[in-house]
Structure 1
């Protein structure tokens, strides 16, 4: 992170990425000295409530983050920035999104955890939009013009006030990763499933931190002489939704060899935070890939030179297809079926984790079938990525991937059919 003093002294000349977090109440005019080079501007965590009208002078600016600032309106000037493709205003106080603020070039828009009750119809002009994050707002409906955004792949609308999912949304050709828990249409399905063991805090000996994600921190601990993992939720709204819905889905998932089971919940955390106790995973398991980058937007980032043998690819594919079929049979859509949420030992055993984007529904319903077809496309994307890095051609798997990614959702196979097609 840079400082305002460095900026004013000219020490940041030529910078392409600028991050200032220093209690700013006004946009520093010195930023315009970087107009010929600046591409990414991070001003999150300040006290800004407006942006200057001449912001388009930053003619190379591609990405701007202004989260955790007291904006009440998404600034219209954003729509005039010539190169802007990614906008992040999470956890502000935004109630109004003017149509003029939405550039037709936008690929990624983050408005999580605000006070937005309505989106402008102009969002339909954002035909390059691939990622739209709206969880934790007050939306009663989605504008039908959003259907024009045919490239949209990831949509986060959890914890809003939606009475239903419109038919046109579920028919969008590339919609793949959807989080929609915590809306009136699925309140009953989001209720906590069959109870698991209550594990009191004094029963755990918490040792050290293992990792941290958007929704919580995972610690290693011991329980009854056994090493376990404890996920302590932060309690804040994430782009995927709320911790309560992640916990409900994690418990409701039950037991499956390709899922991380829940051993119990902690009812009496010292800071009253929700927490789950899970088995400690085999240390040989590693994330299959890294999450999407600013460049890839919706696609995961694999290690350079990463390759999969035929056996490893089929092992991963069969395990994840089986896990997804199991979840859907229990009325759970994972919502974030990605390689970066899959643990793999390099020999084909695969474990699907992170139910932060999960949504619950009534199994066997019309909605259930529509949601499964979205998840099937996510599985097709995973197969495509694995095939790109496989030593063999595998024509049957390639055909399956294409079928899963069919632009007509009704033409995609169900997970039961996918499991059968992979059984060779």
Structure 2
């Protein structure tokens, strides 16, 4: 965090990055003194309602954050900023997005938690757009011009007022990560799923929380003890994980939709088991009680960075044996097939949402972007093939990091072909998860035969 004093006394001369959060009501003109070097400007957490028309003078500006301010209109001059590729105006009061506000070079647009009712058709000019975050607005429809954004890979439109998911959206060539829960178009499916799910109620008084295990956008996870009702025996106390939801809109959607999807997913060897739903919390918070995961499990990857945009970050030098790759890929494909059979689109099928052991055991977690749908019909198949592309990206990342043994081309090549089939632009031609799991099992069988023949 920087200060106005540093900006004004010249000590930030030559800065590439500037972050100011100090109750600003006006844009500090001294920022223009950094025009020759400034690339990242973060003015989040102030009281700004406008930006100067001269903002394009910051000719090197690539990334602009103005979240948690008082904007009611997305500033129109943003479209004239020559190198601006990432814009974040989360949690303002924006109602209007002018046609001129979207730069042609835009890759990442964050307008989560505003009051936007419509997007301009000019968004179709943003042909490099990869990531579009619109959860928590009042959108009634998506502009058909968005179909021209053929590079779009991640779309968050949960908690809006959408009455339909257009067919052209689900056929977009690179769309792989979609969240749309909490809209009128999904309300009936969500209601049916809730009616069919009967989670065990676990009273808050039966739980004792210990250390915090982690925190995400939607909630906080604690390690805890669960004493089953009516028993004082020590063996009736079970170590568990407890997730308490924050209750506010997240970048992915509504915590209540996440909770419903977790419960609706049911049991599967490659999902984290849900033991019950928290009831009787003194503050009315919603929560889940889940299996406590063995500490041998760790995240497969880190989330995307500002530069990678839609691609996870793996540890430098991270490698997988072929046996580990096959086990990982097979587990994730099986989990995804199970979810789709129950009408659940995970929406965030990424390495950073997969817990794994070094030998390839895997658990798919984080349902914050999950959406529910009717299991039958053309839309179900289209949603599955959309998520298949996300799996193909993941499989490619694993193959890139695989330590292939000499003479294993007959195993690697079918996996590489599977990856290509999953990410092809023609969405309708992609395989379904059951076929994917079968093809991975065949590759695994070939590998096992190879091992046996070498003994």
TM-score bin (small chain): over 0.9
CA distance in 1, matches of 2:281, 2:304: 33
- Does 2:210 correspond to 1:198? no
Residue 321 of structure 1 and its aligned partner are, at CA, apart by: 0.2
1:351 maps to 363
Partner deviation per Cα, 1:194-220 (whole Å, 9 max, x = no partner): 121111211111111111111111111
2:134 maps to 134
2:173 maps to 173
CA distance in 1, matches of 2:66, 2:292: 37
2:15 maps to 15
The DSSP-based 3-state class of the residue aligned with 1:269 is coil
- Does 2:240 correspond to 1:228? yes
2:423 maps to 405
Matches within 5 A, 1:94-109: 94-109=94-109
1:112 maps to 112
- Does 2:122 correspond to 1:122? yes
1:214 maps to 217
Partner deviation per Cα, 1:149-189 (whole Å, 9 max, x = no partner): 00000001111111111111111100100001111111011
The DSSP-based 3-state class of the residue aligned with 1:256 is coil
2:154 maps to 154
2:440 maps to 422
2:90 maps to 90
- Does 2:305 correspond to 1:302? no
CA distance in 2, matches of 1:174, 1:285: 31
CA distance in 1, matches of 2:206, 2:31: 53
Residue 12 of structure 1 and its aligned partner are, at CA, apart by: 1.6
Of the three residues 358, 371, 375, the one matched with 1:363 is: 375
**Structure with more helix by fraction:** 2
- Does 2:414 correspond to 1:396? yes
CA distance in 2, matches of 1:185, 1:375: 19
190-199 or 27-36: bigger deviation: 190-199
Of the three residues 248, 251, 268, the one matched with 2:280 is: 268
- Does 2:271 correspond to 1:259? yes
Residue 366 of structure 1 and its aligned partner are, at CA, apart by: 1.4
Give TM-score scaled by structure 2 length: 0.92
CA distance in 1, matches of 2:273, 2:21: 40
Partner deviation per Cα, 1:314-347 (whole Å, 9 max, x = no partner): 0100000000000000000100000000001111
Q: CA RMSD in A?
A: 0.9
CA distance in 1, matches of 2:178, 2:145: 18
The DSSP-based 3-state class of the residue aligned with 2:270 is coil
- Does 2:6 correspond to 1:3? no
2:451 maps to none
The DSSP-based 3-state class of the residue aligned with 2:274 is coil
The DSSP-based 3-state class of the residue aligned with 2:190 is coil
- Does 2:330 correspond to 1:318? yes
Give structure 2 stretches of 5+ with no counterpart: 228-236, 446-455
2:60 maps to 60
CA distance in 2, matches of 1:4, 1:219: 39
Matches within 5 A, 1:29-48: 29-48=29-48
Of the three residues 386, 405, 413, the one matched with 2:398 is: 386
Give TM-score scaled by structure 1 length: 0.99
CA distance in 2, matches of 1:175, 1:280: 33
1:334 maps to 346
The DSSP-based 3-state class of the residue aligned with 1:129 is coil
1:49 maps to 49
CA distance in 2, matches of 1:8, 1:232: 44
CA distance in 2, matches of 1:160, 1:365: 24
Residue 277 of structure 1 and its aligned partner are, at CA, apart by: 1.0
- Does 2:292 correspond to 1:280? yes
CA distance in 1, matches of 2:173, 2:69: 35
The DSSP-based 3-state class of the residue aligned with 1:188 is helix
Partner deviation per Cα, 1:32-75 (whole Å, 9 max, x = no partner): 12111111111111100000111111111100111111100000
The DSSP-based 3-state class of the residue aligned with 1:49 is coil
Residue 380 of structure 1 and its aligned partner are, at CA, apart by: 0.3
Residue 267 of structure 1 and its aligned partner are, at CA, apart by: 2.0
The 4+ residue runs of structure 1 with deviation greater than 4 A are none
